[in-house]
Structure 1
């Protein structure tokens, strides 16, 4: 039971805050009149469809380790609505730019899932992109209120080393110590296969020729469909809505906001390649622009030359001619790791450690059998911007699957102890707030048994 509780609370924090806004749009997009209302808390409602959607997500996120009942899920959702309700009463402030940024990220998330914005709009029954964003704005505002109210409630909560020790011993005495998965820490050296000067000149000349043709009357969209390396060009013709808060690369946004309507830029460079842009509209703080992306080609001879260079570097490190750390500083082209001794961060958590059981399958295959200090083979890679490269990694550190140990896993146990104490603080706050909060529950769900007195029964 304790193991379930630990996992559930961990998932609760990530799921019902980070994921809450992304999934709720699907629920809020449904017509309330055809969906049952499970409970009303203040001015907030929980729909029957909310329970189903979040219940499924918990089970997926826990990889089937948690089977949560409808009543348990309803109580978690009621907790979120209670926080949102009292955030308004407590005058919690959310910043418009923060919400707008969340909305843009949500749109990008859904677009990635469905393939295009139009498919997202159609799937959830919205009229257009503005309608979708309006609904997302409401959802993400509530999500931010929930997070900030919970932060305010727990901001002074901390745990002492003695409390961590007591918490650990309580789990040990009950035989409920969690098992921590194998974790590894990796560092990498990346060497890019750069295009020749002649190839770059060819690309720039081609873009300048397209610019001249469009200025002479050719249609920019058709030129984009024929010439652009942007994978989205088939769906949108290279046309995008750009704000300063959106997740486009810096060079793209700067160019969009520097052009006049109808103007075509000169060719400009980014990490993705070389661009040509035309501005179509200005809508308040939004720019509607189209671009053509062309990426220089890398000849096979250049790729072979780069691979040999990297293989020689591996030999020098293995023989002791140069340390891995010095080789990173001298040879690596990866700007994200070059100044950090090559330390490779987990893209999902932002931390330096990877759970070996949850790694990308390709990366897992390369590093699973490595011991601390060993190197991978040299391998080819290509990033989302189209850059081609050769790289290799070193196993900086490795911890195998094991039962929690107070010394070895102190930071993780401290986090669990702090999570538990914060949860207890929020629970105490909730029990007090439920008493003076309007709550109306459907007859079906009033049969549930809850940890908190949501039904306001006397004697509890």
Structure 2
């Protein structure tokens, strides 16, 4: 049986391949098509890059990793093509948000965007462009998988039967884990401070235009964008790249070479932008970012708002999840939900997976508590205010029905979903044109079933 739980992580690895697949010296065989599903191809380099990246990150790579990834990639293509046939919605915004999140992950691992570009031998734009198709494919496959298994439910009797089938000497040991949720809002700066920043930026513009100083020098001195400050605020842009703030992008592409914009307000603060050079939909720009400071007054207003929300949650007039959906701000809330998620998407995390502000907030909390509103700084250095909900905290223990019912139920449900998905795949595979090259089919026993008799010559 195909391990369908691992289908979608394959494409997460393919994004990493876009980062680590540097140009290599040409050999006799640079790359080859190892499989075709419908009108989509699977390249040998995609599979190998995924494996090599997993090794670089210290992951355990089984001996048959290439066979596993090949099979999962085949099934993923089928899911993706069926999603397109069924017109399942996956927006460009969702794809760009995923790309941005993965870039942020690699930046966090390497320190800076420049370090990532140097490591990859590509610009951030090129990294994202190389990975965009695989990320969209993953999102489509995910949407199709959800359509297939979304209605699968589990009963308490099925949970107990699932647990009873686990050999007692194989029950896992769990370290302390937590379920932690948050409702976060980001205070807005006062109009007076915004006006002050606009005045400052207009002054920068006048200084450059009067040739008192260069734009690059001012960016290095005053810009609050850590990703471009050291290189004088410079970025490469493409008009069609959806990850950029639309205000920033539209303002930049209205400028002529050498022209400097008036201050404009974007998602991260105020910009002035200088067009260095433009060629069609591509451009090199410089910018200076200034973020109006948040004063105690704005922080206190945010605290008061969250305190009111907290009171309603405790009183039972609104549920935590409902309140988080209604009031929480930021990309994490939009795409991840109220709870901090593990790498596998589960809501059970260890203490080292939480940010230092979160650790401080839950230190003296009991299960079921809601923290008072506290100030924190997110990964983009933005100041926010949040309330934290400690839903559960386990002690180190061997898996059992009393302490781990929700986990066991999750495992039982995933197994039932896997069976439903395997049934769908078995039924659907014959309806798709699939070819696997002879070398791959010969060395991977599990791939033989994907190759029809008339296709042996491929």
Indicate conservation of the 8 Å contact 1:41/1:81, yes or no.
no
Aligned to 1:213: 207
Aligned to 1:18: 12
Mapped to 2, the partners of 1:55 and 1:374 lie a distance apart of: 39
**Between Structure 1 and Structure 2, how many residues are aligned?**
417
Indicate conservation of the 8 Å contact 2:187/2:299, yes or no.
no
Residues 158/115 of structure 1: CA separation in 2 closer, same or farther (3 Å cut):
closer
Indicate conservation of the 8 Å contact 1:211/1:264, yes or no.
yes
CA positional deviation for 1:235: 3.6
Bigger CA drift: 214-223 or 87-96?
A: 87-96
Q: 1:453 is paired with a residue of what secondary structure?
A: helix
Aligned to 2:420: 421
Mapped to 1, the partners of 2:332 and 2:264 lie a distance apart of: 31
Aligned to 1:290: 286
Aligned to 1:332: none
Indicate conservation of the 8 Å contact 2:224/2:288, yes or no.
yes
Q: 1:279 is paired with a residue of what secondary structure?
A: strand
Aligned to 2:69: 77
Mapped to 2, the partners of 1:413 and 1:164 lie a distance apart of: 9
Per-residue displacement from partner, 1:147-196 (whole Å, max 9, x unpaired)? Answer: 646866885456554x7667535423313688898443534476849568
Aligned to 2:52: 53
CA positional deviation for 1:357: 1.6
Residues 380/276 of structure 1: CA separation in 2 closer, same or farther (3 Å cut):
same
Aligned to 1:262: 258
Task: Pick one of 147, 156, 159 that aligns with 1:168.
Answer: 159
Gaps of 5+ in 1: 61-66, 329-335
Quote the RMSD (CA, aligned, Å).
Answer: 5.3
Mapped to 2, the partners of 1:455 and 1:30 lie a distance apart of: 31
Mapped to 1, the partners of 2:23 and 2:121 lie a distance apart of: 7
TM-score, length-scaled by structure 2: 0.67
Aligned to 1:355: 348
Q: 1:184 is paired with a residue of what secondary structure?
A: strand
Q: Does 1:239 align with 2:234?
A: yes
Per-residue displacement from partner, 1:65-119 (whole Å, max 9, x unpaired)? Answer: xx55221x12222114434776899996899968984896466665555456654
Indicate conservation of the 8 Å contact 1:214/1:220, yes or no.
yes
Indicate conservation of the 8 Å contact 1:273/1:385, yes or no.
no
Q: 1:232 is paired with a residue of what secondary structure?
A: coil
TM-score, length-scaled by structure 1: 0.66
Gaps of 5+ in 2: 315-321, 340-346, 454-458
